[in-house]
Each structure stands twice: as structure tokens, then as C-alpha cells.
Amino acid sequence: MIVTRQKTKDEITRMLKGQDKVFLIGCGECATICKTGGEPEVKAMQGSLTACGKTITGVSIPSAPCLASKVKAELAKNILALKNSDAVLVLACGLGVQSVKENIRLERDIFPACDTLFGAVMDGRGDFYEKCLACGECVLDLTAGICPVTLCPKGMLNGPCGGMNKGKCEVDTERDCAWVLIYRQLEKKKKLDRMRQIQQGKDHNKALRPHQLIMHK
């Protein structure tokens, strides 16, 4: 789940300066759930841009714009409207924006309507929490399913730092120390021996960007 935040009206207006005819693309998955690029948000954007003097040539909401197969089908269905457009405004994460750019096959300016914030899990109330940094070297088997790389501001791999105070983090005193949470979970499962295992420093080569995974050779 990719969490996004819609850019301000001023930011979007500034991006689209000189672009009179705009095609809108939303997202049927993450941005719909975040309420930044679903049908209501796309409709509101259409009204806002029209009020600013823009002509909206068309609207499309692929189920997953980050997937080439999904976005290609939507682009093909709207090819005439796209040809009549000066620009495309994408209400999705940065992955969706770049997927549109790579698959549109037209020389059109592609603009992001949203800022991409983080990958998250969503709880039962619909709130979003960052739990994984995609570091390329998972240690959840050793830390009771709690990620110290993400939840500890210092990314400590071997227990709490000296700044922990009464179970709280020194960087954010309202936040529970990740390693205190890990300790409590391991204690409950009678696996505290894992706390005594010294972890080597992270191999940051595994987190070098950009990643790629080639499935077809």
C-alpha cells in the first residue's frame, strides 16, 4: 500500500501553467484508499481545473496504473482524448506517474498531482502506518515481527540505545522504543535468547537504488 498526499491547488496550477488541455488519470487502488486519486478526487480535480480555465479532455481511473498491462489498456481506450491533450495529470503515486510516462507512447508532459509519502499497512480504522523500509535484508524472524530498521529512528540492530527512557524513544518521547516492544514480544514467547545474538551491521548494498527484478530473460 503506497500512501500519497495530494499536492496543493497552487502547486498543481503552477505545474500546469501553459497547459490548456489536460487529461486526468486516477488510481483504483492505493490512491483510491488514501482518498487522493479515486473517483471523487478525480471529479473534484476536474471541477477545480475547469474553474481555472483548463479544458479537461478526458478522465481515466485504471485499477492499478503502476501495472503496464492495466495502464496500457486505459491509454488505448482514450487515445483520441490523449492526442487532443497538452498534458496528463496523474493522481497516483510516483510509480503510477512513471508507468503512465513509460507506456503512453505520445510526446505529452506527464505531471504528478500527488506526493508519495511511504509504503504502509492499514489498520482496522483505516489509518496508515509505515512498517517496512524495504532494506533488502529482513530481520523480522529475530525481532518478533517488529522492524527496528523502520520503527527505530536510529535503525538500531542490537537493542535500545542509551537514550531510551522509561520505554520511550529519545528522538520522539511520545513513541514507544522499538526495542522495548521487541523485548516484550520475545519475553512473551520465551525467546529472549534472541536478544543476545549480536547482529552485524546492515549490508547497505542490498538497499541501493534503483532496484530491479528481471522476471523474463
Q: Which residues pair with 104 in a beta bridge?
A: none
Q: Report in angstroms the alpha-carbon separations of 214 from 117, 186, 211, 217.
A: 26, 37, 10, 7
Clarify whether residues 204 and 115 are in a common domain: no
Higher pLDDT, 197 or 43: 43
Count of the separate structural domains present in the chain: 2
- Judged against a pLDDT cut of 90, whether residue 201 lies above it is answered with no
Of 86, 119, 152, the position where a domain reaches its end is 119
How many whole angstroms separate alpha carbon 20 and alpha carbon 22?
Answer: 6
Backbone φ, ψ for residue 180 (5° rounding): -70, -40
Residue 82 and residue 164 in one domain: no
Judgement on whether residues 18 and 43 belong to the same structural domain of the protein: yes
What's residue 196's pLDDT?
A: 87
pLDDT, position 5: 96
Clarify whether residues 111 and 151 are in a common domain.
Answer: no
pLDDT digits (tens, 9 = 90+) for 31-41: 999 999 999 99
* Residue 129 in domain: no
Domain identity same for 89 and 150: no
Mean pLDDT of all residues in 106-130: 94
What pLDDT is stored for residue 129 in this prediction? Answer: 93
The whole-number pLDDT of residue 197 equals 87
Are residues 100 and 25 in contact, defined by beta-carbon separation less than 8 angstroms?
yes
| pLDDT at residue 208, as a whole number | 78
60 and 165 assigned to the same domain: no
Query: Which pLDDT score, from 0 to 100, does residue 207 have?
Result: 78
